[in-house]
Every structure is written in C-alpha cells, then in structure tokens.
C-alpha cells in the first residue's frame, strides 16, 4: 500500500517510535525542530510553538498529500512539552505561552490544514492526536499541559462527529500511557515543590513500569487497524 505517514515531534520519544514502526515502505515525514535520525525520513523543520510556522507547515502538508496518488494518508500530532512544570502564576509567562501554543493550538490548526488537504481524497485517511491520562484531571504542576490534552479530546470528539456527517476521515485521540521518553526524564528531575506528584513517576521508573516507546507505537498502529474503533473516539492504550 502506498502510504504517507506524517508525524509531528518525530525526532524523539513516541513520535520517533511511530515513524520507526510505521507500515512497511511508508513515505515517512517528521515535523520537528531537530529531525528524525533516519536519513530516509523526510524532515520538515519547524518550531510548532511559533504560530508563524503553522501556515508554511500546513502548505507543505498539502503539497505532500497532492504529490502522489496515495492509498493511505496518516497524520499523527505527537509534538508536545511539559515545560514549564509548576503552579500557574509561579512559572515563566513566555514558557506558558509556548506551552499553550504548541500543546493545544498547533495541533488544532495543523489538524484543520490536514483535513482540508485530504478532504477530496477517496482513500484511507487518519488523524491521530496524542492525548494523555492527565487530560481533564487535577494534576498540580501540570495544569496547562492537562488543559491542552483535554482540549484535544474535546476537539477530536467534535471533529469526529463532523467527519461522520461529512468528510469520512477517521480521527482519534490516543493516550499511550506512561512512556519512557525524554519527557519522563524531565518529570523525574522536577522538584516536588513544582510537581508534588513527582514521586509516583520516580517509582514507575525504578520499578520498570514505563512503557517502551516502540511498544506504545506498535500498539497505536494496531489500534488504527481495528475498524471497530469509531471516529471521534478517545482511546487509552493501556485499556486495550
């Protein structure tokens, strides 16, 4: 199958693993600042915390979609940040702004551009937003991050309902669980003053309970092959 796979945040962590485990012979594209280490992965360099980058990235997504008669086109928004971890009102204001723009706004804007690009295609089309178990929960120190993930869940539910009526793109919010990524290293290094729940994540690491990124990525690709999961759904991979 002639497949196009586009992943934001594909330079490391889960995003990198998603590209590494993509369907065989896929054309793989990473949208990030530093790029995926595999030279066979096309790198679109962009800082998605900068709104000035979104229009160009959206245009390049449209060009990629139009470049070939694809049989499957998959877009996964995995880019995200926890920075700044800390209580709202106590952290750096510029870092908070960048967090909101990257974690919430960029995914919705690029998701819109992707849906517009694939709207007329009569092929398999998928849009995945990486969610989190923190979505909608009260997690002191992560309020901005949690709010962004909750926004993704709501956006996917709404857009999924729209696609059922018109469009036909399968859209999902997927929470992968606690994955062994550089983000987890940042969490464990955070002072308890800024993140009171840090010890839980240190314990998960020490007990070997973090999920390997390749395992999480493979589970996500398996999920996409499950036709019983309807568009607009939120799925926690740990519950499958």
**What is the tally of structural domains in the chain?**
1
* pLDDT over threshold 90, residue 28: yes
How far, rounded to the nearest angstrom, does the alpha carbon of residue 228 sit from its chain's CA centroid?
A: 22
Q: How far is it, in rounded angstroms, from Cα 12 to Cα 185?
A: 13
Say if 117 falls within a structural domain: yes
Going by DSSP bridges, is the β-strand pair 42-45/72-77 parallel, antiparallel, or unpaired?
A: unpaired
* Mean pLDDT, residues 45-61: 97
CATH of the domain at 120: 3.40.50.720
Say if 19 falls within a structural domain: yes
Range of the domain at 47: 3-176+212-239
* Mean pLDDT, residues 107-135: 97
pLDDT in tens, 62-110: 999 999 999 999 999 999 999 999 999 999 999 999 999 999 999 999 9
* pLDDT over threshold 80, residue 196: yes
- pLDDT of res. 179: 96
Say if 184 falls within a structural domain: no
Say if 170 falls within a structural domain: yes
* pLDDT over threshold 90, residue 240: no
Say if 207 falls within a structural domain: no
* pTM higher than 0.75: yes
* pLDDT over threshold 90, residue 112: yes
């Amino acid at each position: 199958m002639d497949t196009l796979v586009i992943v934001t945040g594909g330079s490391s962590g889960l995003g990198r693993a998603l590209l590494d485990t993509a369907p065989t012979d896929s054309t793989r594209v990473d949208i990030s600042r530093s790029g995926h280490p595999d030279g066979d992965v096309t790198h679109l360099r962009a800082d998605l915390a900068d709104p000035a980058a979104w229009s160009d990235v959206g245009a390049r997504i449209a060009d990629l979609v139009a470049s070939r008669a694809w049989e499957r086109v998959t877009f996964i928004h995995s880019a995200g940040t926890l920075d700044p971890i800390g209580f709202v009102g106590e952290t750096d204001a510029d870092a908070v702004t960048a967090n909101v723009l990257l974690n919430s706004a960029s995914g919705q804007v690029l998701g819109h551009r992707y849906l517009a690009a694939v709207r007329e295609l009569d092929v398999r089309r998928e849009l995945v937003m990486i969610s989190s178990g923190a979505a909608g929960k009260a997690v002191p120190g992560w309020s901005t991050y949690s709010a962004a993930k909750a926004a993704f869940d709501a956006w996917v539910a709404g857009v999924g309902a729209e696609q059922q009526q018109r469009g036909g793109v399968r859209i999902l919010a997927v929470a992968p669980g606690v994955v062994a990524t550089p983000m987890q290293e940042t969490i464990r290094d955070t002072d308890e003053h800024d993140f009171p729940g840090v010890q839980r994540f240190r314990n998960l690491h020490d007990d070997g309970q973090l999920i390997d990124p390749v395992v999480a990525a493979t589970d996500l690709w398996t999920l996409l092959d499950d036709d019983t999961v309807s568009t607009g759904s939120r799925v926690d991979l740990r519950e499958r």
